[in-house]
Homo-oligomer: A and B are copies of this chain.
Amino acid sequence: MNFVEKLLTASRRQESLLCVGLDPEPGRLPASLRQEPVMSAIVRFCQDIIAATAPYACAFKPNLAFFEVLGPAGLQVFQEVVQAVPAHIPVIADAKRGDIGNTARAYAKTFFETYGCDAVTINPYMGRDSVAPFLEYRDKGTLLLCRTSNPGARDIQDLRVQDEGGTLRHLYEVVAQLVQSWNTAGNCGLVVGATYPEELRQIRAICAQMPILIPGIGAQGGDLEAAVQAGVDAQGELAIISSSRAILYASEGEDFAQAAAAEARRTRDQINAARQKKD
């Protein structure tokens, strides 16, 4: 089963487009876990969040930065967190890597073999040959940054570039077209922020059948309904709506996992309401 099939299966089974982002910050752990050594507290925190929110999630997305900052032990934590995700739900390693052939091969092996993730986020700036080693894993997903959710996305991604026919288009549109041309094995996807629904709509028109990971709702303030309606494919699927902090830190009390589950369920239902409205 390849990444898209695994994603669709989980998404249909859970009736969900919600991806739970795992960005654990030691300073924000619930009080009840602060007695434990920090590494095992983070593992426990993530395990409890995963178990509680799995019924409402189509994917989990651990962000590598929050594990790497813990030092070498943080990667052990990452490994345990990946293993805590139920086998039927895909894990997207949010790593945003990008490097040349030899090095890209090592990164692809890291995420797809060493840690056994189902998909990874990749930066397209270095071009086709920097992405090829990831695409060789035909059953895994390679999700290319296209139009990101932050204000600085404008600096480079919104530049007007001349396309092959001489027309001026935004760089993110040209990137979407490039990724479309790289997607011969059906294992590419895109990352497009929820904060720019109009750009998301344009990109969905270019890549009609690709999964699109959409961060930026919740703490980042993107308009959920607009993002869902712009991001889904013609069947109302293949949008992966990611929320991290709003779910992880829904409560600081001992009920953090139940609160996370309630928030995940609420968000999933909001997403589904937006999907139905579009029909």
23 A–B contacts, CB within 8 A, in A order: A65-B106, A65-B107, A66-B106, A69-B107, A69-B109, A69-B114, A71-B115, A72-B72, A72-B76, A72-B78, A72-B79, A96-B97, A98-B123, A100-B149, A123-B123, A124-B156, A125-B157, A126-B153, A127-B155, A128-B155, A156-B178, A160-B162, A161-B161
The answer on a CB contact under 8 Å between B103 and A66 is: yes
Within 8 Å CB of A79, what residues of B? Answer: 71-72
Within 8 Å CB of A128, what residues of B? Answer: 152, 155
Of the listed residues A66, A161, A168, A171, the one surrounded by the most CB atoms of chain B closer than 10 A to its CB is A161
CB-contacts of A221-262 with B (<8 A): none
Of the listed residues A99, A130, A151, the one surrounded by the most CB atoms of chain B closer than 10 A to its CB is A99
Residue in B closest to A154 when the chains form the complex, CB atoms: B127
Residue in B closest to A168 when the chains form the complex, CB atoms: B162
Q: Does A23 contact B (CB under 8 A)?
A: yes
Residues of A in contact (CB 8 Å), total 59
Within 8 Å CB of A184, what residues of B? Answer: none
The answer on a CB contact under 8 Å between A159 and B157 is: no
Residues of A in contact with B (beta carbons under 8 Å apart): 23, 63, 65-66, 68-76, 78-79, 96-104, 106-107, 109-110, 114-115, 123-131, 145, 148-157, 159-162, 168, 171, 174-175, 178
Residue in B closest to A220 when the chains form the complex, CB atoms: B100
Residue in B closest to A73 when the chains form the complex, CB atoms: B72
Of the listed residues A66, A69, A100, the one surrounded by the most CB atoms of chain B closer than 10 A to its CB is A100
The answer on a CB contact under 8 Å between A150 and B65 is: no
Within 8 Å CB of A161, what residues of B? Answer: 159-162, 171
Task: Choose one: B65, B76, B152; the contact of A110 (CB below 8 Å).
Answer: B65
Closest chain B CB from A267 CB (angstroms): 19
A162 to B71: give the CA distance in the assembly, Å. Answer: 42
Q: A98-B123, A159-B161 are in contact. Are A68 and B110 (CB under 8 A)?
A: yes
Known: A100-B150, A130-B150; 12 extra A-B contacts, CB below 8 A, are A68-B106, A68-B110, A69-B110, A70-B114, A71-B75, A96-B98, A98-B98, A100-B148, A123-B123, A127-B154, A128-B155, A160-B162
Closest chain B CB from A101 CB (angstroms): 7
Closest chain B CB from A219 CB (angstroms): 8
The answer on a CB contact under 8 Å between B129 and A152 is: yes
A75 to B110: give the CA distance in the assembly, Å. Answer: 12
Within 8 Å CB of A63, what residues of B? Answer: 99, 103
A104 to B150: give the CA distance in the assembly, Å. Answer: 12
